[in-house]
Structure 1
Amino acid sequence: MTGQSSTPARKPFSRIAVIGFLGSLIGIGLFAASVIGYRSGTWFVAEVMNLAEWAVYASAVGCLLSLAGLVISRPEGGRRGLIISLLGLVLSAPLLGMTARFDYAARAYPPINDITTDRQDPPVFWDMPNPIDYPGGATAELQQTAYPDLAPLTLATSPEKTYAHALNIVKGRGWEIVADVPDEGRIEAVASSLVFGFKDEIVIRIQEDGDGSLVDMRSRSRVGRIDRGVNAKRIRAFLKDLKQASEG
């Protein structure tokens, strides 16, 4: 009598794991399309933000379904799909993490997008495409409450040396220089955000102050009504580097 060996039936693949992976993949694709669409000038900000919002929704669904697929496809479970569930989580994590960070910053910082070291006599944009005056009023009050440390920087170096240091720092940061006017002690530049390339306008004003110099700076966002604290951070970091360069 010949014995017959039976092989165990192979587990079916988890549909939930597959849909979760596809959701995360779609989220990444939509977000990439929104970035490309804005940077290429194909879409306006409103269209880009709407598409990015749908990308977040797709990633959130993909993340939840991938988590469910992870449970279903665990070694003792009745389905396959552990690897694809993990891939779905990996794909959705960056976009959801970035969204959570942006949402937190939107709540943590005041709803303003124009920051200056001198709220009474702010530096003026002269060479930007659409120069806008510092709003003052409620904006100045909110800035004072949120960023009381921002103030003009006094340096012992001459205005000429301070200007040279400031220009080197601007170039080192890769900002687009719009105006370089040493006779007026004025530098205007544009900084672009890493992902979408949103533009922030910057003006640096350097004046004589006794034997040294007085430095003021203003940074404002072209897009949106809030900046999530980016402009204040930029001013702090720049003035810190300028002080170190002047004292070095």
Structure 2
Amino acid sequence: MLETNSQKRKRGLSLAFVALLVSLSAPLVLGAAIFGSKVEYLDYDTSFTLLTLNWAPKLATISLVFALIALLVSLFMAPKRTGPFALAAVIISGSVLGGFYVYERKLKSAPPIYDVATDWQRPLTFSEKLIKDRGPDAHPIEDNPRVAKGSSFEWDLKPVADVNAATCSGAQPVRNANITADKVAASLMHEGYMIFGRSPWRIEAVYRDPIYGFKSDIVVRIDPDKTDVRSVSRHELSDLGGNCTRVMRVVEILKAM
């Protein structure tokens, strides 16, 4: 009898330990996706669409089911020895799925856009050099972009200008005679942007997401009467409000010059 109980405890420990190892699969896939994207080895579709949004949540779901079974078994066999491993597996898998739940909530609450500007009457443009750097797979730079068809019941096919007005009220032109190209360039570099091109009346810069390294491009146009800003993601279908945040931050900086 003692020998049988010992064997059961060993099996329970093995199951819990395997569950812990399996629970690490989703975080490892996420880590590979983030690292591969950051060093520009993996493209957006592979790192984010495939690995992050497809493989990782599926692995986390399978891991959580396995971890719950292991936890249940450990409660009957050797809770003190096997329980911590099984519980850790549940926490790891649950945390990954929780992160995806938060992401889905943000995705539903944010407008499905990737373009924010302070002036749509006279749209800001980018240089041919920067357009080329964006690459053929990046979102096109349009004078009057619209929300993609089928992406949102609320915003479907509406002009991005209308979406900006409703959801990013802080994206407004700045009237400040102290603004100069040198000041703008210095401020953007201080904020972590890479200056891509400049002239006395326009500054172009590139922003890289600190996690995946996804790029967005920003242009600041300096006119005699006002200064405008536009920020456009390269690949994200929904920026989760990121471009609005960046434009409003630059607007704040321009006002303070």
TM superposition score category, shorter chain reference:
0.7 to 0.9
Aligned-residue offset at 1:99? 2.2
Q: Partner residue of 2:130?
A: 128
Alpha-carbon distance change, 87 to 224 in structure 1, aligned in 2, over 3 angstroms: same
Aligned-residue offset at 1:192? 1.0
Q: For the residues of structure 2 that align with 1:179 and 1:146, how far apart are their CA atoms?
A: 29
Amino acid at match of 2:246: R
1:23-61 residue CA offsets vs partner (Å, 9 max, x unmatched): 321112222222333344444332332122212211232
Q: Partner residue of 1:172?
A: 190
Aligned-residue offset at 1:14? 4.8
Amino acid at match of 1:178: F
Q: For the residues of structure 2 that align with 1:242 and 1:97, how far apart are their CA atoms?
A: 38
Contact 1:21 1:87 in 2 (8 A): yes
Work out the percentage of aligned pairs sharing the same amino acid: 24
Segment drifting more, 97-106 vs 171-180: 97-106
Where does structure 1 lack aligned partners over 5 or more consecutive residues? Answer: 1-5
The 3-state SS of whatever aligns with 1:200 is: strand
Amino acid at match of 1:200: S
Q: 178, 198, 207: which one pairs with 2:223?
A: 207
Answering whether residue 46 of structure 2 is matched by residue 37 of structure 1, we say no
Q: Partner residue of 1:145?
A: 166
Aligned-residue offset at 1:200? 0.5
For the pair shown, the structure with the greater C-alpha radius of gyration is 1
How many matched pairs? 229
Give the 5 Å matches for 1:1-248.
Answer: 9-10=5-6, 11-12=9-10, 13-14=12-13, 17-48=16-47, 49-52=49-52, 53-74=54-75, 77-79=76-78, 80-92=81-93, 95-126=96-127, 127-130=129-132, 132-136=141-145, 138-155=159-176, 157-160=177-180, 163-181=181-199, 183-184=200-201, 186-209=202-225, 214-243=226-255, 245-246=256-257
Amino acid at match of 2:233: S
Task: Identify, as 1 or 2, the structure richer in strand.
Answer: 1
Segment drifting more, 92-101 vs 121-130: 92-101
The 3-state SS of whatever aligns with 1:148 is: coil
Contact 2:120 2:144 in 1 (8 A): no
Q: For the residues of structure 2 that align with 1:134 and 1:97, how far apart are their CA atoms?
A: 38
Q: For the residues of structure 2 that align with 1:73 and 1:164, how far apart are their CA atoms?
A: 65
Q: For the residues of structure 2 that align with 1:238 and 1:72, how far apart are their CA atoms?
A: 56
Where does structure 2 lack aligned partners over 5 or more consecutive residues? Answer: 135-140, 147-158
Alpha-carbon distance change, 21 to 188 in structure 1, aligned in 2, over 3 angstroms: same
Q: For the residues of structure 2 that align with 1:177 and 1:120, how far apart are their CA atoms?
A: 26
Aligned-residue offset at 1:90? 4.5
